[in-house]
Amino acid sequence: MLQQIPEFYQVESCFPYGECDPNAGEAKRREPYYRNHYLLPEGSDLFLICPESSTETHIVWRKDGKVIDPTRSAPGGHIIINSFSTLFLVDGSGFETSGNYTCYVDGIRMQETIVRFISGDSIKQAIYRRHMSYLLYIFLLCAIFYIGGLIRAFTRRHTFRQINWDDKQAEDKPRLLEVVEEE
């Protein structure tokens, strides 16, 4: 289960702080070029590739503002950076691997990804609540039509065919079968 929530930003040639001169050119960029949000169940894996990176560029990954050292990422750990500077989040769990992961390419903040790992129970509760709302909607719809049918039948009760029960009881006497012999 993966849920990605994109965020869009308007790019302008200057910042709104102080004087804004449109002819001044672009100022130093403070926001990342790419932003992603991931909401994942516990135990799932995620790998992040830094966009616009190559083997010649210097890539730095940060988690919540702290530099992730690629030499200290052990194969048994939860956060691994390979030789191509791809970040692997293996067997994600709650607070340990959740956080804000930022990729810098040659000192420029290129991508910011917010990753949250939530427990499977909360996902199941959300699914249960959603299905209960669907069932409530269907139940209310059925109840409205059922009550509408009862009201319609009650208002048109004088147009129903009348049954005389005394005649019906006389007709319900058992009939004897007659055996006819052929000659």
CA 65-114-9 angle, to 5 degrees, is 100
Distance (Å, whole) CA 45 – CA 64: 19
Q: Is the pTM of this model over 0.85?
A: no
Q: Does the domain spanning 34-118 belong to CATH 2.60.40.10?
A: yes
Distance (Å, whole) CA 14 – CA 66: 29
**Nearby residues of 37 by Cβ (< 8 Å), 6 or more positions away:** 4, 5, 7, 113, 114, 116
Tell me the mean pLDDT in the region 101-128: 86
Tell me the mean pLDDT in the region 73-98: 77
Model confidence at 26, in pLDDT bands (50, 70, 90)?
low
Predicted confidence (pLDDT) per residue in 29-69, tens digit: 567 788 888 888 888 888 888 888 888 888 999 988 888 88
Distance (Å, whole) CA 104 – CA 50: 8
Instruction: Give the lowest-confidence range in 2-6, 86-90, 152-156, 173-177.
Output: 2-6
3 state SS of 142: helix
The domain segmentation of the chain, as residue ranges, is 34-118, 122-160
